[in-house]
Amino acid sequence: MRIIGLAGWSGSGKTTLITAVIPVLVKRGLRVATVKHAHHDFDTDQPGKDSWLHRQAGASEVAVVSSRRWAIVHELREEPEPPLADILQKLSAVDLVIIEGFKRHAHPKLEVFRAAMGKPLLHPDDDCIVAIATDAPLPQASVPVLMLDDIEGIANVLQAEALPRDQIGKVSEVPAETA
């Protein structure tokens, strides 16, 4: 299992890029999983459904299983958010895991950047950024720069720069305001 992330400001197009690049990677024969970091409360099932009612009643984990998929929802209640390494250990064996978010964690990342957003680059302050995908030239960048529409090139970078899970660090020294 090899790991790489996509990092960037909210609204930069990380999710759009992931959904464009996954089919390319799958067509290459890779089994791909994703981990998405959310900075807010979220729900995977609908209020009123049985699994939601189980959680509301106090179940710490609820598994939903059908002939098409299964999911386990774990309620943290008052527990802290688990470390990324713990989540990665829970995934099934795949060839490549793409992490969306977790900007402050030490794993190789492709930065997704749009100058029109008016936000600064995460690179070069984050030494885990291995390349930048953008919609405009970035001559000041000291890492490879790809255009956002170069999905094959981005897939190549994700494959080439991903690291094995056991080489992934805990937290890098990225300033908190970029999280």
For the chain, domains (ranges, CATH) are: 2-39+81-178 (3.40.50.300)
Average pLDDT of span 65-80: 84
Q: Which two tokens stand for residue 63?
A: 């598994």
Average pLDDT of span 43-56: 82
Task: Check whether 172 has a pLDDT greater than 90.
Answer: no
Please tell me whether residue 160 adopts helix, strand or coil conformation: helix
The gap between the terminal CA atoms of the chain, to the nearest Å, is 25
Average pLDDT of span 27-55: 84
pLDDT at 121: 94
Closest CA to 154 of 65, 25, 27: 25
Task: Check whether 42 has a pLDDT greater than 80.
Answer: no
Which of the 8 DSSP states describes residue 116?
Answer: G
- From CA 11, how far away is CA 28, in angstroms rounded? 28
pLDDT band at 173 (very low <50, low <70, confident <90, very high): very low
Task: Check whether 176 has a pLDDT greater than 50.
Answer: no
pLDDT at 41: 66
pLDDT at 40: 67
Q: What percent of the chain has pLDDT over 70?
A: 92
- From CA 9, how far away is CA 29, in angstroms rounded? 30
